[in-house]
Amino acid sequence: MKTLSNAHTHTTHCDGKSTAAEQVAAAQALGFVSLGFSGHAMQGFDWLYCMSVEGQRAYREELLALRESLRQSGSALRLWIGLEQDSLVPEAEKAANRELFEYRIGSTHYFPEPLDGAWVAVDGSAELLTRFIAERFDGDATAMAQAYFALHGQAVEHDRPEIVGHFDLVRKYAAGIGLDVHNRAYRDAALAALAQARKGCGVLEVNTGNIARGYDTHPYPADFILDAWRDLDGELTLTSDCHNARDLDCAFAPTLEHLRALGWTRLLRLGTGEALWEDVRL
């Protein structure tokens, strides 16, 4: 069964390749009932990646106009206007985001201290991340992952977003940086952070963006994290972290089959009315 929705969608307002209108057209062609936009919120340092305050205003205004255009055309597609908010977004901006946007995906990309003036993202430059591990963690990739998970768990508990973003993003370059994701210390750190995150949010995304971009065959997060999330009475939503409209429902069908095989019987999609969430039975 298709979820017919996606809550994690980027556009040319940030680092997406498709315009908002192109994403809407793709959603309509796929028969989506709802679509949520999640532009990268202003964090004040990576301007090739995030929106400025003025950019966020233009982003929101365009999506409001698109929503009205859909209403006037009689389209049943429900648009939601959200943000993907990194843990390093300033507190004042986080407060404003809660008021201005309908939902937030709480993600952690960066470490809080730059290396030689460069901000280190776990999904950014593999070369920079390797240097960071060597200089800040004495070459221990597991220690880096432990620090990452601690940051992510704390941020979600503190910020209380509506969705937990790509929980184990830190595994993107695992093979290249010597990170053993089967290591007990790695898994213990992930599960401790997951339990902390659950205090701040009840919805975890299953994110197929890594499949769309060709560097993995299994979505975020790993199965052991999904099993633990179920034990924590958490909910799931399926997203594509879409940067290109052609990938809006990337790997949704096999991912749904995999979730069923893991014992999941339902998940959430963005609503078609006033409520943010609707149940989808698998």
> Given this model, what pLDDT does residue 187 score?
98
| Helix H or strand E segment including 177 | helix 174-177
In tens digits, what is the pLDDT along the chain, a chain of 282 residues?
Answer: 577 999 999 999 999 999 999 999 999 999 999 999 999 999 999 998 999 999 999 999 999 999 999 999 999 999 999 999 999 999 999 999 999 999 999 999 999 999 999 999 999 999 999 999 999 999 999 999 999 999 999 999 999 999 999 999 999 999 999 999 999 999 999 999 999 999 999 999 999 999 999 999 999 999 999 999 999 999 999 999 999 999 999 999 999 999 999 999 999 999 999 999 999 999
> pTM higher than 0.95 for the full model?
yes
Residues 94/105, Cβ–Cβ less than 8 Å? no
Alpha carbon 93 to chain centroid, angstroms: 19
Give the residue from 117, 109, 111 showing the smallest Cα distance to 41: 109
Could you give the CA distance from residue 248 to residue 26 in angstroms, rounded to a whole number? 7
> What pairing do the DSSP bridges indicate for beta strands 266-270 and 277-281?
antiparallel
> Given this model, what pLDDT does residue 188 score?
98
User: Residue 158 has which token pair?
Assistant: 């503190």
3-class SS of residue 43: coil
Instruction: Give alpha helix (H) positions in 7-140.
Output: 20-30, 53-73, 91-100, 126-136
Task: Sort residue 31 into left (φ over 0), alpha (ψ -120 to 50) or beta.
Answer: left
Could you give the CA distance from residue 158 to residue 162 in angstroms, rounded to a whole number? 12
Could you give the CA distance from residue 133 to residue 140 in angstroms, rounded to a whole number? 6
Residues 75/28, Cβ–Cβ less than 8 Å? yes
Peptide bond into 161 cis (omega under 30): no
Q: DSSP character for 245?
A: G
Could you give the CA distance from residue 6 to residue 34 in angstroms, rounded to a whole number? 7
| Helix H or strand E segment including 102 | none
